[in-house]
Structure 1
Amino acid sequence: MTAVPASLTLGSLRVDTPVVLAPMAGITNAAYRRLCAEQGAGLYVSEMITSRGLVEGDEVTRKMLVFDELETVRSVQLYGTDPVYIGKAVEILCADHGVAHVDLNFGCPVPKVTRKGGGGALPWKRGLLGEILTAAVAAAAPYDVPVTMKTRKGLDDDHLTYLDAGRIAEETGVAAIALHGRTVQQAYSGQADWDAIAALVEHVDIPVLGNGDIWEAADALRMVEQTGAAGVVVGRGCLGRPWLFRDLAAAFHGDDVATLPTLGEVRTMMRRHAELLSAHMGEERGCKEFRKHVSWYLKGFGAGGDLRHRLALVDSLATLDDLLVGLDGDEPFPVRELGTPRGRQGSPRARVALPEGWLDDTDGRGAHLREDADETTGG
């Protein structure tokens, strides 16, 4: 068993707890990052933005690049397939937006991303991956900003890329690599392969962050003990449970904490979340954004279907307050939900959507891939 780390070092950046909030499209906006940070220490990464969108001044991209006033460490995940755009985008983030950490997305399994050669498909092209990482690290270097990358095991079990990706990351000066222990073909189905994370730890000298199937703080400790990972990346496990970061912070500092909030305490958290969304986006849009979180917050509780339905249509904070009163504040947390998957799961894909001829070679240097400026899918 490996000793449990108490902190995480990424180049010049020190994170007090070795926990990273995974970028999730439509979820990890400034309001949600603030909500999680109020619970415990960690590195809270933005929703993924596109390099081309940033460089070309795309309005959608610009609106996503928003930070909370108390967000002292600005962390952004960047998507791209072109080394030139990536380099320019990293420079803009560092010079104009005060970003202290840039993460590159090479793990997204969504077909509209992989069919363009982006996300989880890109590491198949080892040469292109090296060019992109080199450009990003060079652009960030004058600002002493660490660059990390997130990837998956590979396209499928017959086309694994993670060990080569780790080697290339280390050679190009990347500060750390996060590995989601699933292939692109698996998407979010099945179980994450923690043995692959352990293999990558043995393969490289830079920090490896483990991602996949961390539903409770105990899972995070077990992952680092079994794999030797320097820290963990938490995504779906915190949906409707931002207090998980409180448990994680406690666990990595030697305290055994498992927060089991009553429905009344969850109700307070729901109100705080909607309040932060409204402060950042305006009340109407903030309440609409909040709707998607209702089912996650109430997962396993006995709240009636009609009340859940009305909460999922909330359009103002006043309406939300009226509806929240209808929840039984004394109802205990449904412990049967502990350790169970949250968020999207689905089934493995029949095949991975790729550009024509993508598998013909593993280099890809100088490739001209299509990257849409309005692409906002998270990984």
Structure 2
Amino acid sequence: MPSLTVQQARAFILSRIKALPQESVPVQHAARRVLAQDIASPADIPAYTNSAMDGFALRCSALAADAPAVLRIAGEALAGHPFTGTVKAHETIRITTGAAVPAWADAVIPFEKVEEENGAITLQPGSVRPGANIRRQGELLRAGDAALSRGRRLSRADAAFLASLGIASVPVARSPIVSLLITGDELVAPGEPCPSGKIYDANSLAVQSLIESAGGICQNFGILADDPQVLRETLEAALAVSDMIILSGGAADSKADFSHRILSEIGSIEPWTVNMRPGRPMRFARIKDTPAFILPGNPVAAFVTFLEFVRGALLAMQGAERIWPEQIQAFAECDIRTKPGRAEFVRGFAHTEGGRVLVRPVASQSSASLSTLTDCNALIAVDHDETVQAGALVSVQLLDRLIG
């Protein structure tokens, strides 16, 4: 069976992914969705010239260069309540942060830089310069300027920014519906008695949370018995409502695993694996036009293959500009032993010391032990032709950026 590199497998999967249609959602629900259109600012930002500080608005031209200035307080401007009166040459107004700065004023001096007494303020020479503490209309964005670009996956800060522009609804890609099927007679749901020879199912929770972190809506069909007819019927039911199907378990194509046989009968499994660890048994398939992944039953292998392949496929469906895991460079704190010619995703712990990012592998690299994921905060991505010695720069994927 052909064995692909990680990059080759990603390119193949991406070539089989179709973009989803767009929909409009309220801005308060737009976080973690992918923009389907460019967003232009409907107005200048700031919308009007305003004060960046609590203080006093004044004319610098009224101040002497070498002597203290005394300015009478002629009124005040509050946020939402601009000052509409007139002032004389040696007068000022009290102003709060966000309040409109009158056209005649060219600076704002903070309260703490003046002495206030008997309805007037005294300020020392050189204590304020023209333009100080004023935010000019349109200095951040002009009406019509690009605010956010299509393909951006919106953060909570992005959604708040759009709300600040007065935008109430946002065009985004529809969230992909992903059916999750967990197979295995040995699996027991958490909370149920676990007799000898059985294990608790962790993949339902883990993979569902990963689907949702990638913007998908999970249809979790629960634990399925190792029964070909049950699997066939469930797959056919899932196919009717899904943009993607994920099976966990049965990736190794052994006699006791039916996932391969049933998927081959109702669809087609690509005749390749990925030369990687953990996760080599992962397979990619299609049922009619619906992409399907068979993830390994081992929890860590399922976790890694989801992050390296499935997550990117889901983001591509949504039209995201950046789909594959972001990588940073870090210095290896020790030699990292890998098999030549095989890509390895080593669970590691990254930290900063002396202004440098350092990373080291966690003690256990067992693909069956979820506890190793609680000990790590990064995957060290060692390429097929790479050898890592202590002190060398390595590529690192920070988990909180992938699933946070």
Query: TM-score, structure 1 length as denominator?
Result: 0.29
Which structure ranks higher in relative contact order (CA pairs < 8 Å, sequence separation ≥ 6)?
1
Q: Which has the larger radius of gyration?
A: 2
Which structure shows the bigger proportion of residues in helix conformation? 1
Which structure shows the bigger proportion of residues in strand conformation? 2
Query: TM-score, structure 2 length as denominator?
Result: 0.28
